[in-house]
Amino acid sequence: MHALDIKLLRDFKRLWIQALAIAMVLACGVAILLTSVGMYKALSETRIAYYERNRFADVFAHATRAPLSLLAEIANIDGVMNVEARITGGATLDIPGRVRTAVGQILSYPEDADPVLNLPFLVTGRFPNALSTTEVTVNAPFARANGFELGDSFSANLRGQKRDLTIVGTALSPEFVYTIGPGALMPDNTAFGIIWMPERAAAAAFDMTGAFNDVSIALAAGTTTAPVIDAVDTLLEPFGGLGAYDRTTQQSDAFLDAEINQLKGMAAILPPIFFVISGFLVSMVMSRIITLERSEIGLLKAIGYSNIEICLHYLMLAALIAVVGVLVGWAAGTALARTTAWQYAQFFDFPFVIFRVSYWVYAASGLAALLTTSLGAMQAALRAARLAPAIAMQPPAPPRFKRSFVDDVMTHLRLAQSTVMILRSLLRWPLRSFLTSLGLALAVASVIAATFINDALDEIVDLAFYQTNRQDAMLLFADEIPEAALEDVRHLPGVLQAESQQFHAAILRHGHLAKRVAVEAHRPGNDLSRVLDAKGKPLEVPPGGIVLSERLAEYLEVQPGQSIDVEFLSGRRETFSVNVTALVELHFGLGAYVDFAYLNALFRQAPRVSTVNITLDTAQTDALHAAIKNTPRITGIIEMNENRRSFQDTIEKNILVMNAIYIVVAVLITIGVAYNAARIQLSERARELASLRILGYGRGEISYILVGEMMLIALVAQPFGWLIGAGIARMMTNAFTSDLYAIPLVLKPPRFTFASLVVLSAALASVMIVRRRLDRLDLVAVMKTRE
Amino acid sequence: MADIIFRTQGVTKIYDTGGVKVYALDGVDLELYKSELTVLLGPSGSGKSTLLNILGGLDHATGGRVWFDQTELTNMSDRELTRYRRDHVGFVFQFYNLVPSLTARENVQLVTDVAPDPMPADEALGLVGLGKRMDHFPSEMSGGEQQRVAIARAIAKRPQILLCDEPTGALDSATGVQVLEVLRDINDRFGTTTVVITHNAEIQRMAHRVIFFQDGKISETRVNETRLAPSEIVW
């Protein structure tokens, strides 16, 4: 091995703590890049493969009851490759050993052949026998969550007909990768299941013999969906078509898509921050090394080493740091990606997960790390290369300090000389002080960006469950019922309060923009499900007007005072021009509200109800569930407490992990920055501090100079960190917002305090570790050493 | 008379520090001869080190011309000067300039790694009497030993010229004599042209030729008829 390479390795060994501190920051960037890109690739590739293998449809439509003869016409639409009709419907389920009712979505399973589209993936057992009226296959997560074995039975209320069903198999479906029940906010596999039932049995149960109410369509490659959707809508219109939609509106795919986009955003936003910080740290450390090794550089040049060899020598040192960072990052990233993949597999119901972080992701992350450290080291390495040998051999000139107005201020303030030393050093290297401060600010920002989500979710929960949806439960009906039935509901056991609610699928249009939403008919004075204005006051929707959620208005580019076209997909399927009267902030879904009486008048019908909101006497919950199980028209009950609990459980688990990761990351950044900065400061000031000791300063007094400077920088960093953190939080809320949900930007002082405490303590701990070296300062040796 | 190895013609070196021009060398004409041991003598700031740096290819002259053998150094590029240093010149410095993270042997290897026809590092260290201290780090050696490592490093490439800037400046008298003996030995044994800078007037007694510097100019050149052995020198 060449002597220069030996020097390289020994230098690296000597600097290992500093190198490791930088390498860890770099490793964070590499690991996050690997995880986010790896997961992004895993999710999107798994999705593509799953959809392709199981022939996930491109266009979906529901109708009230369409004749099977219509299928041929749908198949004739340009671009349509395959059509499959199904019978679907809701059912309340009575699961043995479970007090609460569950909700099932029935899907018909074809009689003579396998399904053409949306092929269920059989996990255990088999599909139901075509002639059986009791056999069903259920989705595997539902079976698992309820502890079902093959051969187990449960009872289902199918439009008033109570029937015992026997599980003969479990399956997964590309339509239900993200399985969420009606009205639920999060998947709850105990309370919602998919049930494949033989076509004949389903037709009998839903009165659909010779007819269908659900159609899936596969398109030929390259076909645009819009014309097909229009054609399908035209064909289904006479049969109560509810408007065809493509994958982007298909619930499961939309959730999956939102998740994939989040990962993409994460891969783009976070890793660069870490790479930049490590680049800066490398630059800071290398620059100091070159200052210290000035005479060695001169010597190497005198011996005959070329500029390039010397430049490369120092770049190699940076490369070694990069190598360590990349290796740690690869290991951590692979483990993290694996864990996350496992978490995703739990969260999304895939029959398989294609998890392989491609070699190019490893290569790209390694290259990015190498590039940033090289760039960081470049300036210092070039300085080494450019150093004229004759000058390099001489000791460097003492740093130039100039008097400025700040000095006059300091004189005026009669600051202690040690404080003056701290302030002067900060001002002497303003760029370095600024960048050190910036590094610590990014650490603060990282904690804020991770923890603000807690407050955001608290606000979401508060708004969703305590302000707007204050009912204890929602009762869902198979069809709309006359509002008079409210009285019957009030007589159910445990019901204290009952209010009516009505939903209608509609397409809202403004100019060329259109969005399919559920319009909620809202009765003035309703106390359980409320519409709130920006100040949290209940908002009444005036007759003739419509209230939109902010995101929906933004999408449609419409302001209050303007009017939009509302094309109802149910009832008489009429289109009305309606004035937008107000906007409301909403975190789940894209809400649109009209007055209850106004809507029924538009539909020229007596008031009808599709959902009843109730408050409950909790002591009688069991009795209520028992009653519901025997009430044919009720197809489901959504308990808001359960809903909230499952939402909070799911989110909290994820948030907790995420918070922990980001706090570790922030601590690593802080250590990387503070430790290195303190080491450099110590190396520059060793002589100075030793001189002070000889002059009679105590250890505490010289420690004050070292610790004081670092902590002053850390303090200055705080407000910048808060600002950057708020900025990143804003970016995250924007990146995470989709049609499905919006994360509000909630920034509360305690999170800022917490972030500052984390970073200040980590900075103090780092500088205190360096400070210990002051105790071992060999005064005589330091004074003898030639700088 | 021996062949000329270095020749300078009106060499000047001007440092411009903030508008004030300082003449480090002010028209130096000089000839040095092959295999001779020359001592450059003069007070601090008289221009000795500046001249040595220019002869060694560490620095460019502001004006005048410099020849090494038949080659003119004056207008060489950085790359050519690097080549020149690598192939022909050995340096010894006052503060040894050893790389602290390398052992004695590895410090010498720094040179043998890049020189065209070096002697083994062990042999070079043997020549300076450090055959048994080869695996020690600089911090584990005395000043005299460190300087001998520096000399071993300088001679390991079998240089044609050995340029020594105050080689005994940081050493006590007894250790300094040891170092001078090594230099004398190398000069005698290999005929390496050796230039020693010093402001210690006693050292001139071991030289073939003594050149006196004053204010960036040569004030006197003297040839010693009889040379003393280093052991006979005391200061």
For residue A49, the model assigns a pLDDT of 94
Q: Cα distance from A716 to chain B (closest Cα, Å)?
A: 36
* Residue percentage of chain A with pLDDT more than 90: 37
How many angstroms separate the CA of residue B204 from the nearest CA in chain A? 25
Range A476-496 average pLDDT: 85
Q: In b/e form, how buried is each residue of B112-144, taking b as 16+ CB within 10 angstroms?
A: bbbbeebbebeebbebbebeebbebbbeebebb
Name the pLDDT band for A782 (thresholds 50, 70, 90).
low
Which residues does chain A have within 8 Å of residue B109's beta carbon, measured at their own beta carbons? 2-3, 6
DSSP code of A76?
T
Cβ distance A4 to B113 less than 8 Å, yes or no, reads: yes
- Of residues A157 and B51, the one with the higher pLDDT is B51
Q: How far is A769 from chain B (nearest CA, A)?
A: 24
Exposure letters A525-564 (e unless 16+ CB within 10 A, then b): ebebbbbeeeeeeebbbeeebbbbbebbbebbebeeeeeb
- Directed axis angle between helix A16-53 and helix A251-292, to 10°? 160
CB contact under 8 Å between A304 and B99, yes or no, is: no
pLDDT given at position A786? 47
Question: How many residues appear in chain A?
Answer: 787
> Cβ A305–B82 below 8 Å, yes or no?
yes
The pLDDT, as a whole number, for residue A787 is 41
Q: Which residues of B touch A14 (CB under 8 A)?
A: 101
Task: Check if the beta carbon of residue B49 is closer than 8 Å to that of residue B25.
Answer: no
For chain B, how big is the Rg over CA atoms in Å?
17
Q: Tell me: the pLDDT tens digits for A357-379?
A: 788 889 999 999 999 999 999 98
> What does the block give as tokens for B191?
């005929």
| Burial class of A395 by CB neighbour count within 10 A (0 to 12, 13 to 18, 19+) | exposed
CA–CA separation, B186 and B36 (whole Å): 11
Chain A residues touching B86 at Cβ < 8 A: 303-305
Of A614, A596, A559, give the one whose Cα is nearest residue A548.
A559
User: Is A430 or A58 the better-scoring residue by pLDDT?
Assistant: A58
Residue A422: per-residue pLDDT: 87
Which residue, among A317, A382, A393, would best test binding to B if mutated, counting the most B CBs under 10 Å from its CB? A393
| Residues B129/B163, Cβ–Cβ less than 8 Å | no
Mean pLDDT of A757-771: 94
Q: Which residues of A touch B53 (CB under 8 A)?
A: 389-390
Indicate the residue of B78, B102, B153 with minimum beta-carbon distance to A6.
B102
Question: In chain B, what residues touch A781 (CB-CB under 8 Å)?
Answer: none
Confidence label for A186 from pLDDT (cuts 50, 70 and 90): confident
B192: closest CA of chain A, how far (Å): 17
**Which pTM does this prediction carry?**
0.76
Two tokens at A1?
A: 């091995």
Residues of A with CB under 8 A from a CB of B: 2-4, 6-7, 10-11, 14, 295-296, 298-307, 309, 388-390, 393, 786
Q: What average pLDDT does range B186-215 have in this prediction? A: 92
Cα A24 from Cα A632, distance rounded (Å)? 62
Q: Is the model's pLDDT at A785 over the cut of 60?
A: no
User: Which residue of A10, A295, A304 is in closest CB contact with B82?
Assistant: A304
Structure confidence at residue A395 as a pLDDT band (50, 70, 90): low
Q: Say if the Cβ atoms of B114 and A302 lie within 8 Å.
A: no
Nearest residue on chain A to B110, alpha-carbon basis: A3
| Identity of the residue in B50, B59, B114 whose CB atom sits nearest the CB atom of A388 | B59
Residue range A701-724: average pLDDT? 93
**Phi and psi at residue A216, in whole multiples of 5°?**
-120, 140
Best interface-test mutation with A: which of B13, B77, B91, B107 has the largest number of A CBs within 10 A? B91
Domains, chain A, with CATH or none: 1-60+250-397 (no CATH), 61-249 (no CATH), 429-471+641-787 (no CATH), 495-616 (2.40.40)
Residues sharing a CB contact under 8 Å with residue A397, sequence separation 6 or more, in sequence order: none
Collapsing DSSP states into helix, strand and coil, what is residue A267? helix
* CA pair distance A175, A346, nearest whole angstrom: 16
Q: Which of A10, A14, A786 sits opposite B95 (nearest CB)?
A: A786
Residue type, B186: I
Quick check: A50 pLDDT over 50? yes
Q: What pLDDT, on a 0 to 100 scale, did the predictor assign at position A774?
A: 85
Average pLDDT of chain A, as a whole number:
87
Q: Is the pLDDT of residue A571 over 80?
A: no
Listed in sequence order, the DSSP H helices in A462-549 are 486-490
Give yes or no for residue A218 having a pLDDT over 70: yes
Give yes or no for residue A501 having a pLDDT over 90: no
pLDDT digits (tens, 9 = 90+) for B8-17: 999 999 988 7
Contact B97 A393 (CB under 8 A): yes
Chain A: residue whose CA lies nearest to B98? A296
Long-range CB pairs of A778-782 (<8 Å, 24+ gap) are A779/A690, A779/A693, A779/A694, A782/A686, A782/A687, A782/A690
Q: Tokens for B163?
A: 């340029």
- 3-state DSSP assignment of residue A589: coil
Which residues in chain A are closer than 8 Å to B50, comparing Cβ atoms?
A: 390
Contact B106 A6 (CB under 8 A): yes
pLDDT in tens, A597-619: 888 888 888 888 888 999 988 88
Q: Percentage of chain B with pLDDT > 90?
A: 53
Residue B216 scores a pLDDT above 50: yes
The pLDDT tens digits of the residues spanning A272-300 come to 888 888 888 888 888 888 888 888 898 89
Q: What angle do CA A35, A36, A39 make, to 5 degrees?
A: 80
How far, rounded to the nearest angstrom, does the alpha carbon of residue A255 sit from its chain's CA centroid? 11
Biggest CA pair distance of chain B: 53
Contact check, Cβ <8 Å, B87/A786: no
CA–CA min distance B104, chain A (Å): 11
- Work out the minimum CA distance from B59 to partner chain A, whole angstroms: 6
| Residue A60, pLDDT score | 95
Could you tell me which chain A residue has the CA closest to the CA of B99? A296
Place of tokens 């460019």: B60
Helix, strand, or coil (residue B89):
strand
Q: What is the CA radius of gyration of chain A?
A: 34
* Helix or strand holding residue A158 (H, E): strand A153-158
For residue B125, give how far its alpha carbon lies from the nearest alpha carbon of chain A (Å). 15
β-pair partners for A417: none
Q: How far is the CA of B164 from the CAs of A87, B6, B183, in angstroms?
A: 99, 15, 9
**B115:A10 CB<8 A:** no
CA A712 – CA A163 distance, rounded (Å): 74
For residue B137, list chain A residues with Cβ-Cβ distance below 8 A.
none
Closest residue in A to B115 (Cα–Cα): A304
Residue A529 has pLDDT above 60, yes or no: yes
- Nearest Cα neighbor of A20 from A305, A285, A251 is A285
- Band of the pLDDT at A761, cuts 50, 70, 90? very high
| Chain A positions in Cβ-Cβ contact with residue B45 (cut-off 8 Å) | none
Q: Among the listed ranges A471-480, B39-48, B194-203, which one has the minimum average pLDDT value?
A: A471-480
A425/A680 Cα distance (integer angstroms): 12
**A517: β partners:** A506
Of the partner residues A2, A6, A306, the one whose CB lies closest to the CB of residue B82: A306
Q: How many CB pairs under 8 A join A and B?
A: 81
Lowest mean pLDDT among A30-44, A713-727, A746-760, B201-215: A30-44
Instruction: With cut-offs at 50, 70 and 90, classify the pLDDT of residue A140.
Output: very high
For B22-40, the pLDDT digits (tens) are 899 999 999 999 999 999 9
* Average pLDDT for A151-160: 88
Residues of A in contact with B108 (CB under 8 A): 3
Please check whether residue A304 is in contact with residue B80, taking contact to mean a CB–CB distance below 8 angstroms.
no
Identify whether the C-beta of residue A759 lies closer than 8 Å to the C-beta of residue A443. Answer: yes
Look at A14 and B87 and tell me if their CB atoms are within 8 Å.
Answer: no
Q: Which of B213, B208, B165 is nearest to B187 (CA)?
A: B208
Higher-pLDDT residue of A343, A94:
A94
Contact: A10, B95; criterion CB under 8 Å:
no
Contact (CB, 8 A) for B232 and B220? no
